[in-house]
Amino acid sequence: MGERALRGTRLGATSYENDRNTDLAPRQEVPYTCPKGHRFDVPLAAEAEIPATWECRSCGATALRVDAEQPQQKKAKPPRTHWDMLLERRTIEDLEEVLNERLAILRAQRRKSA
């Protein structure tokens, strides 16, 4: 390619190759339907594992493959709260002791300022 063809372009930004004389990988069209009634096809490689769900292109909902059944929901662990994590480190008696110490400090500061 001559020097003129590269002048004024960003190298790496565009490919100067064309797809003539190339064979594309075999593909298959997989139909999906979302709960809102949108139907669309997704082109996938012929040897690819086909997922049961896909994000809808129109609304973003989870679309189900036309010939598939609803996948089973995974058991989700409930989120751990701050209280749960605190109870892993300390007992209720320890927490009451710390609370009483902090209350004594606060009461002493109030007496000083009053």
82 labeled binding residue: no
Residues 6+ apart with CB under 8 A from 47: 26
56 labeled binding residue: yes
102 labeled binding residue: no
Backbone φ and ψ of 14, nearest 5°: -130, 145
Q: How far apart are CA 76 and CA 72, in angstroms?
A: 12
38 labeled binding residue: yes
Residue numbers in the known binding site are 34, 38, 56, 59
Residue numbers in the known binding site for Zn(2+) are 34, 38, 56, 59
